[in-house]
């Protein structure tokens, strides 16, 4: 009987959260930053102070300070499944207060060119749904927990959007060369769609732009947004155009990809610095 009571008491203790003692500080918030490829996160990892690597399920996560903010940075690899795996492990092990996704994308908006940035107001998976005689009928995924239908579009966190808007207004982006001389990129808010294919076809580009009113296409953002949505973690996807998703997309991505990745990372850095300033002002 005594043993039973002791076990019950231990189990109950595990279920009860222990309040902080008077004067004890809350753990400092941490911002998570993800990118699919090394070129998309390297500028950020190199800028870290107090960097420390940690392996989770053989995946590398790098912790440190960036712009006065505690951050954790990881490469997801290409594609929705890879991105969802890393995002899930990230949320479980590091408990970030928000997740930012940075990297390159293909432009679907005819007014956007390599170097331009889209701050995603919402994201969607363009290759999920029912394929019928009329083509693909897009729909939202289902939560594996509740089995309820998720929205087709995952809305970005409004606070992060507002901070990104401030960064966009004061940021100087790297100019990119064109046949008509150097061009200064622009930043806009728009729609980003995600799928497990690299789009390099004018017809598909037009279809995605028309169907989703989308400005950019990539291969990870909406998958990360779904994980964050289901776990109630604020999320924002930021993408810089490396190509215009046409027949020359692969060639252009190789040419403009590094500069585009750097522009996206610069916006992320400024946004993170704002988060650091916010934390510093709190009593």
- Please give the positions annotated as active site: 40, 243
CA-wise closest residue to 65 among 232, 278, 273, 274: 273
Please, which residues bridge with residue 30 across strands? 70
Contact 216, 107 (CB under 8 A): yes
| 124 bridge partner residues | 153, 193
Neighbours of 67 (CB within 10 A): 18
Crossing angle of helices 158-170 and 249-281, in 10° steps, is 110
Q: Both ends of the chain: CA-CA distance in Å? A: 49
Angstrom distance (rounded) from CA 252 to CA 242: 7
């Amino acid at each position: 009987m005594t043993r039973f009571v002791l076990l019950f008491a231990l189990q109950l203790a595990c279920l009860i959260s222990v309040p902080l003692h008077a004067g004890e500080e809350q753990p400092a918030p941490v911002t998570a930053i993800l990118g699919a490829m090394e070129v998309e996160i390297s500028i950020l990892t190199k800028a870290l102070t107090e960097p420390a690597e940690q392996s989770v399920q053989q995946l590398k996560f790098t912790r440190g300070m960036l712009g006065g903010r505690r951050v954790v940075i990881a490469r997801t690899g290409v594609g929705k499944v890879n991105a969802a795996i890393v995002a899930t492990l990230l949320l479980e092990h590091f408990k970030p207060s928000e997740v930012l996704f940075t990297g390159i994308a293909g432009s679907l908006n005819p007014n956007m060119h390599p170097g331009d940035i889209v701050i995603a107001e919402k994201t969607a998976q363009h290759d999920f749904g029912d394929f019928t005689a009329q083509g693909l009928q897009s729909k939202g995924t289902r939560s594996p927990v509740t089995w309820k239908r998720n929205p087709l579009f995952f809305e970005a966190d409004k606070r992060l959007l507002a901070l990104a808007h401030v960064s966009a207004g004061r940021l100087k982006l790297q100019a990119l060369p064109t046949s008509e001389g150097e061009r200064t990129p622009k930043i806009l808010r728009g729609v980003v769609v995600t799928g497990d294919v690299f789009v390099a076809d004018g017809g598909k580009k037009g279809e995605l732009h028309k169907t989703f009113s989308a400005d950019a296409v990539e291969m990870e953002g909406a998958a990360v947004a779904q994980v964050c949505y289901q776990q109630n973690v604020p999320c924002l996807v930021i993408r810089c155009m490396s190509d215009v998703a046409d027949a020359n997309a692969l060639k252009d991505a190789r040419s403009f990809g590094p500069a585009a990745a750097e522009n996206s990372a610069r916006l992320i850095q400024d946004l993170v610095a704002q988060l650091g300033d916010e934390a510093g002002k709190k009593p």
